[in-house]
Chains A and B, each alone.
Chain A
Amino acid sequence: MVEYYILKHKGGQACYNDAVVPVASPELSIAIAATEKLGDTAPVAAKIVRDIMSSELVAGKVPDLASEIDRHTPDNTEYMVFKINDDRIDSMRRGGVYGKIVKNGELKVLPNGILGLEDEDRIVCGTEEFFSFLADEEILADSLFAESCQEWMNYMIKRISDINWLSGKNLSAVTLIVRSSE
């Protein structure tokens, strides 16, 4: 089982233009799109990502999903799309959306492609805006203290709030914990 929690916060902006789209079947697939650099086309790009994730394409492979997003969204759309189960994560990303993984008490950048997972591995994926307020040591400490994905996210939100009262740009992120022993 993979537990996850999604953060979608508009920050100090008028509306939330990014996209975080989870699809639970057949396996958990999630797309995160940062539309900050797109200007007026941001809502359209976010809708395209949502449409692709709700189509039958989501059952296909991650590279196919990524190329579909590439084909239909503006050039400077930044996104990450991944599929995850108890054993592995398969991810593709473009631009300033990326992930970090806590494995055996250490934090590492999540690489593109397939990575094997074990019980209690913890992953956070998000936009550059989200990560810009968090030091690696803080992300790691929060993940090790947290008993659930929501708690982990709340700890990180508190840190961002301490810096800017959540008054900056859109914040988009997802935390995941592998619970293969359950």
Chain B
Amino acid sequence: MSSLFDNDFGLGLAVFILIPLFLAGIVAFFYFLDNYMNKYRRMVKDLGTKDRNLRCRIAYFSERGQRKRQEDSCYISPMTNSEEDGVIAVVSDGIGGLKYGDEISKKVVDRISSGFPYRFEDSETNSAILRGISRDIYNRYKLEGGATLAMVHIRNNLMHIYSCGDSNIILVRKGKAMMLNPKQNYLSILINRLAANGEMTKGAYLDKDARSLVDFMGNSYSRVNRTCSPLLLFDGDYVIVASDGLTDAMSLEKIADYVTNHSVITAEHLKLSVKSSRRPSQDNYTAIVIRMEYDLF
């Protein structure tokens, strides 16, 4: 009788306490697992908010094209303290046909690299520093040469842009490539003039001087364009800092077509595409390809 009671008691204990406890344990386990995974699911879905960190995957190439000299120079800052200092990517294109194009473009990136790190928030001061570099170049070379400047300063998911001349800063987002920085060339002046008179602007593009630079590093008082507030970057964005040798060889639409999920492969595609086009007058072409990736952990 007593053993029957023991058996029934054991069975009852199992049915009414242990099994519900076991099931509750399973439910709790999955509940916590789901919560844990949700945290990451939200992070992946909720891209581009200001509290999200992105990291840069960077690749670059710099080729001579059909020119005798390499007049492009580039610089990518160290990434050891990128959360604090950000990352700087610079391309400078020496003005062709002038004596010291290569020397000046190298000087521009050297001076910028020696001044790193820069205060991310203070784009006005950074722009003044860049103007100072330009002024020093003017004092040294007295307009016997010059170079363009295209520079991005990326920290987490924010980007400041600095630009002087006609080099390119391109954003590729959702399959569309967009030029971000304004060009300081004569074409822009002609277009503004025609538009202000209410005229069409086709003639401006036919002008033989349309592509002439009106400002550059090494000009007497050059204006370095800069963003007054940073741009927000998103996971999967590409930022391409390039000399005009790249954009002369391929359209923005084509650049967007070459973008993949990896910066190195994208850079390789772009380089090979320019190389295989075999343009007889291919200018030096340099590009720093930056893919913004979500920093999951």
List A residues at the B interface (Cβ < 8 Å): 7-12, 16, 104-106, 120, 135, 137-138, 140-142, 144-145, 154-155, 157-158, 161, 165-167
Interface of B is mostly: mixed
Q: Flag if B232 contacts A144 (CB, 8 Å).
A: no
Chain B stretch 198-225: residues in CB contact (< 8 A) with chain A: 198-202, 204-205, 225
- Looking at B63-71, B92-100, B112-120, B170-178, the stretch in contact with chain A turns out to be B170-178
Q: Flag if A166 contacts B181 (CB, 8 Å).
A: no
Chain B stretch 159-202: residues in CB contact (< 8 A) with chain A: 161, 163, 171, 173, 176, 178-183, 188, 191-192, 194-195, 198-202
What separation, in Å, do the CA atoms of A106 and B188 have in the docked complex?
A: 26
Residues of A within 8 A of B230 (CB): 105
Q: Flag if B198 contacts A158 (CB, 8 Å).
A: no
Can you list 24 A-B contacts with CB-CB less than 8 angstroms, sorted by A residue number?
Answer: A7-B195, A8-B198, A10-B198, A11-B200, A12-B200, A104-B229, A105-B229, A120-B228, A137-B171, A137-B173, A138-B178, A138-B180, A140-B231, A145-B181, A145-B226, A154-B191, A157-B192, A158-B183, A161-B191, A161-B204, A165-B202, A165-B205, A166-B195, A166-B201
Chain A: which residue is nearest B182 at the CB level?
A155
Could you say which of B163, B191, B202, B225 contacts A158, with CB atoms under 8 Å apart? B191
Asked whether any CB of chain A lies closer than 8 Å to the CB of B139, the reply is: no
Closest Cβ of chain B to A163, distance in Å, is: 11
Residues of B within 8 A of A10 (CB): 198
Apart from A161-B201, A165-B201, A166-B194, what 13 extra A-B contacts exist at CB < 8 Å? A9-B195, A9-B198, A10-B198, A105-B231, A106-B232, A137-B180, A138-B179, A141-B180, A141-B227, A145-B161, A154-B195, A158-B182, A165-B200
Q: Flag if A145 contacts B225 (CB, 8 Å).
A: yes
What separation, in Å, do the CA atoms of A65 and B229 have in the docked complex?
A: 35
Residues of A within 8 A of B201 (CB): 161, 165-166
The 6 closest A-B pairs by CB, nearest first: A105-B229, A144-B227, A165-B202, A141-B180, A161-B201, A165-B201
**Which one of A135, A161, A166 has the highest number of Cβ atoms from chain B below 10 Å of its Cβ?**
A161
Q: Flag if B202 contacts A167 (CB, 8 Å).
A: yes
Residues of A within 8 A of B176 (CB): 135
Closest Cβ of chain B to A150, distance in Å, is: 9
